[in-house]
Amino acid sequence: MPNALQLFVLTSLAMVAFAANSVLGRMGLIETEIGAGSFALIRLVSGAVVLALICLLQSKRVSGSIGGGISLLIYAGFFSYAYIALPAGMGAIILFAMVQITMLGWGLMRGETLSSLQWAGFVIAVAALIWLVSPSLEAPPLWAAAMMAIAGIGWGAYSLIGRSAKDATSATSGNFIIASALAIPLLAITLLIAPEPLPPLEGVGLAVLSGAVTSGLSYVIWYRALSGLTATRAGIAQLSVPAIAAIGGVIFLAEPITWRFTLATAAILGGVALAVLTAAPRSIKADK
C-alpha cells in the first residue's frame, strides 16, 4: 500500500490524466483533421498495446469480458463523436454526471436504498444536468450532449462490470483488446456511410497519447492509488475531474467558462457528492 505522499501523487496524476482525456479529445477533433471514428479506434488500440505490455512485464494473463469490451467501446466511440461539438469542461461534467447517475440508478434497480440526503443529491444532480443542456444561447448542441450522456452510461456500465474483476490491470487490458477488435469492423461500416479523411500525424499523436498514457497508464496508476483510498476519498477525488478539464480547456483551447456552466457544474457536483458520499440508511436486518 502506498504511503501518504505516494498516495497523493498517484491520485493527483490519475485525476489530471482523466481530465486530460477530455482536453486531448477536444484538441484532436477541432485542431486537426482526424475523424471521430479514427480517433476512437487509435485510442483503443494504443491503450490495448500499452496495457498488454504491462501485463506481459508483470507476467499476468490478459482477461476481460465481452460485456466489458462492449461498454468500453460505447464509451470511447460516443465520447469521440460528442467532442466534435462539446467544450472540454462541458463534456467532462456531462460524462461524469451520467457515470454516477448510471451507477446509482443500477443500485436502485437492484434494491439498494438511499437516505433523504442521497435522494436530494440525486434529484439536484439530474435537475442541474437537464438545465445545463436545455435549449438556450449557452446550451451545447443537444445531439452532442446526448452522445456524451450515452458515453457516460457506457463508462458507468464498464465500472459496474469491473467491480467483479479479480485483477483490474488484466481485465482492463483484455477489455481494451476486445473493444479494439469490435471497433475495427464498426469503423469500416461507419466510413462507408460517413467517410473521414486520412488521419494526420498530429491527430494520430493526440489519439495515441490519450489511449496509451492518459487512458492505459492512468488506469494502472488509479488502481494503485485505490489500494490506499477509502470509497469516500476516491469519490471526492473524482469530483475534481470536470473542474480540471474545464481549466485545461481554458488554458489549451481558449474555451470560455460561462455563469450557466459554473452554476450547473457546482449544482451537479454538489448533488453527486450528496448522493455518493453520504451514508446509506441501514437495513432493518442490519439494525437487529
- Please indicate, yes or no, if residue 211 is contained in any of the structural domains: yes
Q: What is the rounded distance in angstroms from the CA atom of residue 10 to the CA atom of residue 5?
A: 9
In a domain, 232, yes or no: yes
User: CA dist 250 to 141, 247, 255, Å?
Assistant: 19, 5, 5
Query: Dmax of the chain from CA atoms?
Result: 65
Tell me the C-alpha distance between 264 and 270, whole Å.
10
Instruction: Let me know if residue 288 belongs to a domain.
Output: no
Q: Which three cell numbers stand for residue 135?
A: 435549449
User: Coil, strand, or helix at residue 264?
Assistant: helix
Establish if 286 belongs to a structural domain: no
For residue 233, tell me if it sits in a domain: yes
Q: What pLDDT sits at residue 232?
A: 62
The total number of structural domains in the chain stands at: 1
- Please report, in tens digits, the pLDDT of each residue of the chain (288 residues total): 677 788 888 888 999 999 999 999 999 999 999 999 999 999 999 999 999 999 999 989 999 899 999 999 999 999 999 999 999 999 999 998 898 888 888 888 888 787 888 889 889 988 988 988 887 667 789 999 999 999 999 998 988 887 777 788 898 999 999 999 999 999 999 999 989 999 999 999 999 999 999 998 888 888 888 777 776 677 777 778 888 999 999 999 999 888 889 999 899 888 888 877 776 665 444 443
Measured distance CA(17)–CA(38) in Å, rounded: 21
In the prediction, which pLDDT does 279 show?
A: 65
Q: Which domain holds residue 62?
A: 4-281
Do 258 and 89 contact (CB within 8 A), yes or no? no
The predicted structure's pLDDT at residue 260:
87
* pLDDT at residue 5 in the model: 81
C-alpha grid cell for residue 217?
497508464
Residue 287 counted as domain residue: no
Instruction: Report pLDDT for 286.
Output: 42
Q: For helices 240-253 and 88-109, give the axis angle rounded to 10 degrees.
A: 160
User: What is the per-residue pLDDT for 284?
Assistant: 43
At 190, list the grid cell.
461507419
pTM over 0.75: yes
Q: What is the pLDDT of residue 36?
A: 95
Say how far apart CA 62 and CA 55 lie, in whole Å: 7
Q: Is 276 contained in some domain? A: yes
pLDDT at 88: 93
Q: Is residue 208 one of the residues assigned to a domain?
A: yes
